[in-house]
A and B are shown apart, each in its own frame.
Chain A
Amino acid sequence: MRSYWIRRAIGAAAVLLLVIAANFFLFRIMPGDVVSSIVDPRFSPEAKERMREVFGLDQPLLRQFVIYVRRMLTFDFGISFLSQRPIWDELRSRVPNTIALLGSALLISSALGTWLGVQAARKRGGITEKVVLISGSISFSFPSFFVQLVLLLFLAYTLPVFPLRGSVSIPVPQGAIDRMLDYIWHLLLPAGSLVLLGFGSWAIYVRNLMVKTLGEDFILLARAKGFSESRVLWNHAFRSALPPILTIFLLALPGIVSGAVITETVFSLHGVGKYLLDSIMGHDYPAAGAAFYILGLLTIISNLAADAAYAIADPRIKVGRRAGM
């Protein structure tokens, strides 16, 4: 058990280091002066000199990198070129929005996809299976932003059921409950579209795994024991298919984070992904780097959470072997 966690932690640290290194070097191989990528060119010479010291730009590259890693780990991202405010102050208000979008979309699509996948595996050739197949091929070939634009066009413009843009109404409604409802109303279409795009592929994976599992001997034996079909299905088949399902979850995670960036852009949500795009468009490099780092961090944390779930779901983890990998 311990060796598993050590390996997972090393893996997470490696990814984190890679993200930070990518940030560090990408913004330094840019054409032009290094300073201009980190320090706003409009700063006064004294301010530039001060920033040079803060970033340790006059020191050797390795030393600079160590300083950079330390600053990333303490969320000290510097000042945004565009807003002239500390970047972390700007990001802090956006992180919860991104987590709400990612979290709700992930939870609902995985729950819905899992349920549909299990049902499709139980009744081969039934309606559920057809739904799963069609929604699966939709999610594999339709670009997310296209589906979202169509939804936006028909459900926010033609039929104004949902808001066209933003995370909250302006002006913000009074009262905690109203504000909450307003927030959910703004989240429904973005998260719902991610669910719509995500549950199909999820359901197909689950179905395939369940079909394989349902053919195993222990399922035959569980049926022979006179258990109810739902006990056989969930307690034996699904429980056994859970570790590989979680593996898929892990593999799908980066793609879902990428999807969130696009979703935030389509719906103009006040999130980290939108901030990343705005910063890149405005050549606000420190802000772009910070947003990228936060997205990487969110992925790594979700990864670790899925690893933890995996360790609970699969007793074989104790011997340090990972099924399905």
Chain B
Amino acid sequence: MIKIPRWSFITFFLILVIAVFAPMGLSRSPQETVAKPFAPPAWTGGDAPPPFSAVLSPSQGIVVLDWEWEAPENISIKGELVFEGYSVSKLVWTTPDGRTFTLASFQGSGKWPLDLDGRDITFKTALGIPPLANALPLLFPSRGEHRVSIEGDIPSGGSLNLTLPGGKWGLMGTDQRGRDVLALFIMGIRVSLLVGISATLLASFFGLSIGLTSGYLGGVVDSLVMRTVDVLLSIPVLPILMVIVGIWGKGLWQLVIILGLFSWMGTARTVRSLALSLRESCYVENLRSIGASPWYILYRHLLPEAMPVLLATISLGVPGAILAEAGLSFLGLSDPRVISWGRMLHEAHGFGAFTAGAWWLIIPPGIGISIICLVFLDMGRSIEEMADPRLKGSLRQ
């Protein structure tokens, strides 16, 4: 019988694919400014204009903008045009009320490089306004049809890119530095998965070794280990992590090691009780009586027996590590150069997302963390159920 995998396995696979491939698809660095700070997502309502870009070329000498919003933050026209022979040409801006502005003009032959920015003084001088005035309200006096056109001789080659940064951006808007939140969000998946999985693997390795040793040796070692586990479990972990990270440094790998060092206790307990019950079982007794070495029993029998439980423990442990990483990053105890979901929430909290009402800085990373946690929890439970079908349908935390 073919079993349909649980939703969590499919989701996990999808997340993995996104984490690996999506950053490659980003056209620019996620650190780059793409729009004004705190620009809301493009699909939201309101008067803020969406980003706009168009190309002027010999074949497309005019661009018409149907402008239904307030004036954009800025305008930029970049590129070069090529003229064969002596030509006279200019770049003309026409407002809905019919006024025209010459943005730039050219006389001669060959290349005409252009780099216009609405904030440049030369640009403002060309428009005939003082250097401290804002050029945009002049160019966008009202809503309606705006045009930008190449007038005079037609160029033979090259092109100009017109971009208006827009007060809205993309699927998830921008943050306090005008960075694309979607790009940051996608980069954040990597950190969560990386830290979550590697810290839990490390913790499971510690837990497995300590638990097996403790359960197999028993006696003084065992009770010493278990008391240590008890004591460690009764200290709040986050403050310890905060102190250690504060002293030792905020690097990603330091964080993985620290998280691994402080989350092996649960695994150790589970593995220990498993090892204890197996040690007492007739089947290990028989193996020992026919002269199997402890290592052989450990590797050939105890470990395979413990494997499903261990796999489930790993999967169930990942959310804890992800939440711990996110918590520390949220508190600001992470490398500021590494983009992570917790860091995004930290910056949203610390850099005025509230006063800007920028919910799009808070919801995506939070939901992202929750979904990844739920996926790992569900995978862990599925593995547990596969290992022990009696658990099916029962209610656990």
Q: Are A280 and B242 touching (Cβ within 8 A)?
A: yes
Interface flags, A142-162, vs B, CB<8A=1, else 0 = 111111011011001110000
Q: A322 CB to closest chain B CB, in angstroms?
A: 11
Known: A11-B230, A145-B345, A292-B243. A153 touches B362 (CB 8 A): yes
The residues of B that contact A266 with a CB separation of less than 8 Å are 349
Known: A146-B366, A207-B395. A30 touches B247 (CB 8 A): yes
Specify the main secondary structure of chain A where it touches its partner.
Answer: helix
Nearest-CB residue, chain A, relative to B244: A26
The residues of A that contact B349 with a CB separation of less than 8 Å are 145, 149, 266
Q: Are B354 and A258 touching (Cβ within 8 A)?
A: no
Cβ < 8 Å to B, chain A residues 194-234: 201, 204-205, 207-208
- Cβ of B357 under 8 Å from chain A: yes
> Which of A53-61, A64-72, A133-141, A173-181 faces chain B?
A133-141
Q: Are B231 and A15 touching (Cβ within 8 A)?
A: yes
Q: Are A204 and B348 touching (Cβ within 8 A)?
A: no
Known: A11-B231, A164-B354, A258-B238. A140 touches B243 (CB 8 A): no
Known: A207-B395, A266-B349, A280-B333. A142 touches B233 (CB 8 A): no
> Which of B9-17, B167-175, B367-375 faces chain A?
B367-375
- Cβ of B246 under 8 Å from chain A: yes
Q: Are A204 and B397 touching (Cβ within 8 A)?
A: yes
Interface flags, B311-352, vs A, CB<8A=1, else 0 = 000000001000100110011110000000010010011000
- Cβ of A296 under 8 Å from chain B: yes
- Cβ of B389 under 8 Å from chain A: no
Interface flags, A273-312, vs B, CB<8A=1, else 0 = 1001100110101001101100110011001000000000
Nearest-CB residue, chain B, relative to A14: B231
Q: Are A152 and B247 touching (Cβ within 8 A)?
A: no
**Which of A27, A153, A291 has the most chain B CB atoms closer than 10 A to its own CB?**
A153
A158 interface neighbour in B234, B323, B357, B365, Cβ under 8 Å: B357
Nearest-CB residue, chain B, relative to A258: B238
A277 interface neighbour in B242, B244, B319, B395, Cβ under 8 Å: B242
Q: Are B235 and A141 touching (Cβ within 8 A)?
A: no
Known: A136-B397, A261-B239. A142 touches B234 (CB 8 A): no
Q: Are A150 and B395 touching (Cβ within 8 A)?
A: no
Q: Are A262 and B395 touching (Cβ within 8 A)?
A: no
State which size class the interface on B falls in.
35 or more
- Cβ of B237 under 8 Å from chain A: yes
Nearest-CB residue, chain B, relative to A268: B349
- Cβ of A313 under 8 Å from chain B: no
Q: Are A22 and B240 touching (Cβ within 8 A)?
A: yes
Q: Are B327 and A262 touching (Cβ within 8 A)?
A: yes
Q: Are A141 and B354 touching (Cβ within 8 A)?
A: no
Bound-state CA distance A147–B369 (Å) is 11
Q: A27 CB to closest chain B CB, in angstroms?
A: 7
Known: A140-B377, A280-B246, A296-B236. A146 touches B362 (CB 8 A): yes
Bound-state CA distance A147–B365 (Å) is 11
B326 interface neighbour in A136, A143, A303, Cβ under 8 Å: A143
Nearest-CB residue, chain A, relative to B245: A280
The residues of B that contact A146 with a CB separation of less than 8 Å are 345, 362, 365-366, 369-370
Q: Are B233 and A251 touching (Cβ within 8 A)?
A: yes
Cβ < 8 Å to A, chain B residues 245-281: 245-248
Q: B276 CB to closest chain A CB, in angstroms?
A: 15
29 chain-A/chain-B pairs, Cβ below 8 angstroms? A11-B234, A14-B231, A30-B248, A140-B373, A141-B377, A143-B327, A143-B366, A146-B365, A146-B370, A149-B349, A149-B362, A150-B363, A150-B366, A153-B354, A153-B357, A153-B359, A153-B362, A156-B354, A157-B355, A158-B357, A254-B235, A257-B236, A258-B238, A280-B243, A283-B246, A291-B239, A292-B243, A295-B236, A295-B239
10 additional A-B pairs beyond A146-B369, A153-B362, A276-B239, beta carbons within 8 Å, are: A23-B243, A142-B370, A157-B355, A257-B239, A261-B239, A262-B331, A265-B330, A277-B331, A283-B246, A285-B247
